[in-house]
Structure 1
Amino acid sequence: MAELVERVDEEDHVLAVVERGEAIRHQWLHRVATTVCRDPEGRILVHRRPDNDSRFPGRYNWLLGGAVNVGETYEAAAARELAEEIGVHASTRLVFKYLCRGAISPYWLGVHEATITQPITPDASEIAWHTWLTEAELRDAIRSPTFVPDAQEAFTRYQALADPPELPRGE
């Protein structure tokens, strides 16, 4: 069954319900929610996408997430994606949202944070490999062309935050 998303405008107001593939094909704005996962030491979870993934196969990313479902909030989508991708139920908090022009298509990107205190169980269909990096290590690694391009832009914006909010704790 096709994944349904809300087509939105330049101000993130809902225009219609469409299939995600159609939104990408027609370059229609839709919503994506992601999460920066940190461990209690402040390191950031980095993962590699599976080689057979339809979007950015074999590329690295520091964000976990996906499309916001119809009627779902960014925060709910971010929490749902954490459960689906790494098997963790944790509180997420929106840090910032921006209109991402995207390497494949444009979308509104909600970037959240969560502190992960429990063991993770990555879904092999979503994550081929993972590790925890310090922010300095990630800053060096993310310049590589092996990272998802949209993740590089989001990291630049994330780094520009003067005083990131306190991170929520895993539940």
Structure 2
Amino acid sequence: MTGRSAEPVERTDGARVPEELVDYVDAADRPVRRGPRGRAGELGLHYRVAATVCLAPGGLVLVYRRPAAAPVYGGCHDVLIGGSVRAGESYQGAAGRELAEELGLRLAPREIYRARQDSPIGPCWLAVHQAELPDGAALRPDRAELDWYGLVPAADVLAGGHEPFVPAGRAALARLLDRHPRSTESTDDHHRPTPRPTRRPADQGAAAALP
């Protein structure tokens, strides 16, 4: 595999640092090269994403809402906590890192399945993990990534609640709970549900981003 330096970006203190690199892979998830995030599709390649569904006792699942200004699926709800896999990083390693960064929790995510997925910024390979939230877990969410979050009945999400909802997230929860036929290809991830009023559970946290 070959790699190249990413174009530097400027920090707030004026220093120049390399942009974060990710692995670009082919349609069979084989590494081809490395480059900056969000550019794999321009080369006809895929990037890798690791995400985790967090379940809690009593049939509950952690649902969160993306900030309205998020570049992808802004204002939508989701159950997938995750992001891009960094260059040289494993899917499981990335899943654990994302949980620590976005929720402030050290959990042991377990990979459930891996599938090719279309996304608004290009095709990717998505590895979906599962993690169990212990009773009384004290979440310390990244307020730049989670505008709102709560533990809600998984059945409510599968029944179409908490719209608008990221399609890939609902599909992952359905597959995780064996409520949906398994497949190796994604559904239409470009479809965005039309926002409508919905009942929300009592907030477990509030804040003042997809890979």
Distance 2:52 2:131 in 1: 7
**3-state DSSP class of the match of 1:82?**
helix
Give the structure 2 partner of residue 140 of structure 1: 159
Segment drifting more, 91-100 vs 131-140 = 131-140
Classify the secondary structure of the residue corresponding to 1:152: helix
Q: TM-score, normalised by structure 1?
A: 0.85
Larger Rg: 2
| Amino acid in the other structure paired with 1:9 | D
**Which residue is equivalent to 1:32?**
49
Counterparts of 1:121 and 1:27, CA distance in 2: 37
Query: Hey, what's the Cα distance between the residues in 2 that align with 1:143 and 1:124?
Result: 20
Which residue does the alignment assign to 1:157? 175
1:8 equivalent in alignment to 2:25: yes
Q: How does 1:26-105 map to 2 (within 5 A)?
A: 26=43, 28-105=45-122
- Percent sequence identity is 35
Cα offset, 1:24, TM superposition: 4.5
For 2:162 and 2:46, the matched residues in 1 are separated by 27
Root mean square deviation, CA, Å: 2.0
Task: State the aligned residue count.
Answer: 161
| Greater RCO, 1 or 2 (C-alpha within 8 Å, sep 6+) | 1
Asked whether the 8 Å contact 1:23–1:30 carries over to 2, the reply is: yes
Structure 2 counterpart of 1:51, one-letter code = A
TM-score (norm 2): 0.70
Instruction: Give the residue type in structure 2 aligned to 1:137.
Output: D
Q: 1:138 to 1:30 in 2, by over 3 A?
A: same
**1:21 match: secondary structure:** coil
Q: Deviations over 1:82-120 (max 9, x none)?
A: 000010001110010000122331100000011112211
> CA separation in 2, counterparts of 1:141 and 1:53?
22
CA distance in 2, matches of 1:90, 1:112: 11
Distance 2:43 2:166 in 1: 21
Runs of 4+ in 1 over 6 A off after TM superposition: none
- Structure 2: which 5+ residue stretches go unaligned? 1-8, 10-18, 181-211
- Structure 1: 5+ residue runs without aligned partners? 163-171
> Secondary structure in 1 aligned to 2:122?
coil
Partner of 2:15: none
> Aligned with 1:98: secondary structure?
strand
The 1:23–1:142 alpha-carbon spacing in structure 2 relative to 1, beyond 3 Å, is farther
Q: Is the 8 A contact 1:103 1:150 kept in 2?
A: no
Instruction: Give me the whole-angstrom Cα distance separating, in 2, the residues matched to 1:155 and 1:4.
Output: 29
3-state SS of 1:138 partner: helix
Pair 88,143 (structure 1): closer, same or farther in 2 beyond 3 Å: closer
Do the aligned partners of 1:48 and 1:60 also contact (CA within 8 Å) in 2?
A: yes
